[in-house]
Structure 1
Amino acid sequence: MKIYLDGKLVAKEDAKISVFDHGLLYGDGIFEGIRAYNGRVFRLKEHLDRLWASAKAINLTIPLSKIDMEKAVIKTLLANKLTDGYIRLLVTRGCGDLGLDPRKCTQPPSVVIITDAISLYPDKLYEEGMEVITASTRRNRPDTLSPNIKSLNYLNNILAKMEAVRSGVMEAIILNSEGYVAECTGDNIFIIKDGILYTPPASEGALIGITRDAVIELAKNKLKIQVREEKLTIYSVYNSDECFLTGTAAEIIPVVIADSREIGSGKPGKITVKLIKEFKNLARSTGIPIK
């Protein structure tokens, strides 16, 4: 496996970051998770736009242009002979001293691109649906740290993930400080009630996901169903007709049990199944060619 590290392709075992990099010391950096399907990188422009927006929010200068970053992603995929896979793109603050001050990072930010296969959940869960719990860990307040900054500090999500693992499930719903549904540990959440698709807005602590946006577009344009971004309570989830999660790595996965409550019929719903089909068609037919 070849890793892109600061302009060079190096072997996996040689892809090393200094222990003085502030991305390691303080989580001072940003990332994107991107997917390639059928020889194309899905919504690469949107992912890079979001990366640059995260960088601007934390006052980090990415040492490549968007065009050069696109070329670097394609180059890394080609080096690993991948036409389908997962891309993890990171930009760290760079090497500094043991203080917090980013001005002490005298070296340029580091850019890392990893390309590999990924399987976030077992195939069985996509067919039969998954079980989730509600975590006691609350989402960071959006007025202290915006959920739309995809920073290298994911401890808030990890703590909630640990709760899911201790409960014997693979995912957990995270509530915001006011008790409304924000998202899950690595995915956005949707519910369907009376034929209407609902999802929490960014103001409630939800990341504006790339897959989330694609699903909203497909629901509106392909399935002709109404979509609402509204505050959701866990009660709304329990009493929904269907529920599913979305994410770059997860794609679309149905939820059939939440906190031991059966969702709808206890099986993946009709609208969810249709959206999965439409998303697969979209992902495998659009994107930047890998060449």
Structure 2
Amino acid sequence: MIPVLDTDDYVTRLLSRERPGEAGIIAFYEHRVGAICRNPRLMLMPLDDHLAHRGDGIFESMKYLHRRIYQLDAHLERMRRSAAGLYLAPPCTWERLREIIIEVAKAGGEADGSIRVLVGRGPGGFGIDPAECPEPSLYVAAYHFTPKPEAWFDKGLTAFRSSIPAKQGYLARIKNANYLPNVLMTREAHERGMDVPFSFDDDGCLAETAIANVALVDQTGTLVVPEFTNALAGTTVLRAVELAQGELPVSFRKVREEELHAAREILVLGTSSDCVAVVAYEGRPVADGRPGPVSRRLRALLQADLMGHGVPF
């Protein structure tokens, strides 16, 4: 028979059980408790939080290096837009949420890491009606982040056209907790032995990767960013465009697959790796099959920007 435990015995058993990934957690905060904890075995979400069983929620991921959180305010501004798209708000002010993120990073006691912020509809029932949930949920976790070695950037990535279509526009532009298409794209990449899946919309235009944005350098030397019609507007790619002002022309427009085969460079831009080159697409080399100068320059600009403008703690 399954034992029925009282509270103390249940908590004791819970704390005695190892859990996958616990070594990666540095610190976390949950709004219901209103405190920061460093024991990952207590990092729990109520099963009836609509974030868990309906995917009714939003999230943001950001990194910090040398005790500087990169693009904190840009991530929070995008989170505001995502929240508005789901008629959702955190259970505290946005100003307080910013403070909580900094406090969690500081409590972890490490100079480098990543932050995951989740805002959900909250616990209250197993139905689908948002009215079930009297208060939104908020979870903030700091976890280990190890930057990729230089050899990884020097090698570059391989990419392919995913069979998973781009998300519907209204969902793609909200960083919501339903990442099933992204999961399936990543699984497909493993099956094909490649690094990065590219999704395309119903018109055959390039959208994004599973967890980052795509850009290319065309034959005129222009940095071309696909329109965010069926893709999330990435904080990294938008900041890279700002930093590159005056160094190279930039165009936001629709991109078709044949342009990838003709590109001087293909770039993947995202929070974890800043900017990395794609050196082969669908088995064919991009240009000479090596990372190009724009990928290196954008990465250098982003790294310098973190040191100069990251939020210190």
- Tell me which residue corresponds to 2:238: 213
How many residues are aligned here?
Answer: 284
Say whether the 8 Å CA contact 2:124–2:132 is kept in structure 1.
yes
- Tell me which residue corresponds to 1:37: 65
Hey, which bits of structure 1, 4+ residues long, moved more than 4 A? 119-123
State the 1:122 CA deviation.
6.2
Task: Report the TM-score when normalising by structure 1.
Answer: 0.94
Q: Which amino acid aligns with 1:114?
A: A
The correspondence for 1:259, drawn from 282, 286, 302, is 282
Q: Which has the higher contact order (CA 8 A, sep 6+)?
A: 1
Say whether the 8 Å CA contact 2:278–2:291 is kept in structure 1.
yes
Residue by residue over 1:139-184, the C-alpha shift from the partner in whole angstroms, topping out at 9 and shown as x without a partner, is 1221xx3322111110011111111110011210011121110011
- Tell me which residue corresponds to 2:202: 177
Question: Aligned pair in 2 of structure 1 residues 240, 277: CA closer, same or farther (>3 Å)?
Answer: same
Asked if 1:152 corresponds to 2:177, the answer is yes
The correspondence for 1:139, drawn from 147, 162, 166, is 166
State the 1:136 CA deviation.
0.7
Question: Aligned pair in 2 of structure 1 residues 155, 119: CA closer, same or farther (>3 Å)?
Answer: farther
Asked if 1:18 corresponds to 2:41, the answer is no
State the 1:263 CA deviation.
0.3
Question: Aligned pair in 2 of structure 1 residues 31, 65: CA closer, same or farther (>3 Å)?
Answer: same
State the 1:82 CA deviation.
2.5
The correspondence for 1:268, drawn from 291, 300, 305, is 291
Q: Distance in 2 between matches of 1:93 and 1:51?
A: 14
Question: Aligned pair in 2 of structure 1 residues 230, 132: CA closer, same or farther (>3 Å)?
Answer: same
The correspondence for 2:213, drawn from 188, 192, 203, is 188
Question: Aligned pair in 2 of structure 1 residues 121, 174: CA closer, same or farther (>3 Å)?
Answer: farther
**Identity among equivalent pairs (%):** 27
Q: Distance in 2 between matches of 1:102 and 1:122?
A: 44
Q: Which amino acid aligns with 1:146?
A: L
- Tell me which residue corresponds to 1:281: 304
- Tell me which residue corresponds to 1:48: 76
- Tell me which residue corresponds to 2:5: none
- Tell me which residue corresponds to 1:197: 223
Q: Distance in 1 between matches of 2:301 and 2:173?
A: 26
Say whether the 8 Å CA contact 1:119–1:249 is kept in structure 2.
no
- Tell me which residue corresponds to 1:127: 154
- Tell me which residue corresponds to 1:118: 145
Asked if 1:168 corresponds to 2:193, the answer is yes
Greater gyration radius: 2
State the 1:104 CA deviation.
0.8
Q: Distance in 2 between matches of 1:146 and 1:77?
A: 29
State the 1:121 CA deviation.
5.8
State the 1:241 CA deviation.
0.4
Residue by residue over 1:174-217, the C-alpha shift from the partner in whole angstroms, topping out at 9 and shown as x without a partner, is 111211100111010010012110011112x1211110111111
State the 1:283 CA deviation.
1.4
Q: Distance in 2 between matches of 1:232 and 1:270?
A: 21
Asked if 1:99 corresponds to 2:124, the answer is no
Q: Distance in 2 between matches of 1:164 and 1:233?
A: 21
State the 1:128 CA deviation.
1.5
Say whether the 8 Å CA contact 2:113–2:146 is kept in structure 1.
no
Q: Distance in 2 between matches of 1:276 and 1:36?
A: 16
Q: Which amino acid aligns with 2:205?
A: Y
Show structure 1 runs of 5+ residues with no match: none
Residue by residue over 1:115-140, the C-alpha shift from the partner in whole angstroms, topping out at 9 and shown as x without a partner, is 12224866533112110111011012
Task: Report the TM-score when normalising by structure 2.
Answer: 0.87
Show structure 2 runs of 5+ residues with no match: 1-25
Moved more, 188-197 or 31-40: 31-40
